[in-house]
Structure 1
Amino acid sequence: MRLGITVLDDDGGQLRALQRWLLRDPDSAGATLTLRGRNATPGAMGPGLDLIDVVLSNAVGLGGLLVAVATWRRSRGNAPRVQVEREGVTVTVSGADAEQIERLVRQLTAPTAEPDDGTPATAATLDRPRP
């Protein structure tokens, strides 16, 4: 399973910090993490880095990866917004409670429905804090 992780409103420093966090976090163990430009091919040099390209061997590790991302956000003073994208479905990680992580996993692993106009469906982001 391939994912792209983006830290919004970032100059690149936050993205590198998130990658270092994920490489050390046991919840994201087993994931292959590579920094790259959004339109660059893996291994090619480009103008800048704007996402972490993640490869998971199966969907089981997705929940752990999302928990690690949410934990990293909480550790930062400004709690940067983080988006995770898979096959045209984009979600925003904003909390680490089990219910929200399960919802994000379902959104990222569900088959995407094709709207009538032929454009891929995008999952709603979950930026709302839990009541």
Structure 2
Amino acid sequence: MQKHIFMTPQDHERLSSMLADHAVVREDLKRLEEELDRADIVDVRELPTDVVTMHSVVRLRDLDSGEFKTYRLVYPSEAGRGESSLSVLAPIGTALLGYRSGDTIEWAVPRGLRRLQVVEVLYQPEAAGSPPV
């Protein structure tokens, strides 16, 4: 059973448009499309402040290694602009979108199954009153 994920209308629209712009179907795009299809679209004013949205900064714990990492979830064109930027098309980026603090994510990546816990959403643009980018 898959967990419900939350998404703002703005993120859903921009990510859907991004998918529509790709003529070639790739595995990363297919997985993102599956996440978009199952997302609960929530108005920004009703979005819980601990949901991972685009441009959120999130602290994760790898449940197998115990290692902690911090990432900023970004659009593919923004990836690489900071050492902690993580493209939404990267396997872990797609997995994070819409999850909340405390949630555990199990996601297949090229090296096998990753088990991660969303420890904390350190920054969410919507909670900070930032307009969508």
Q: TM-score, normalised on structure 1? A: 0.29
Q: TM-score, normalised on structure 2? A: 0.29
Q: Which has the higher strand share?
A: 2
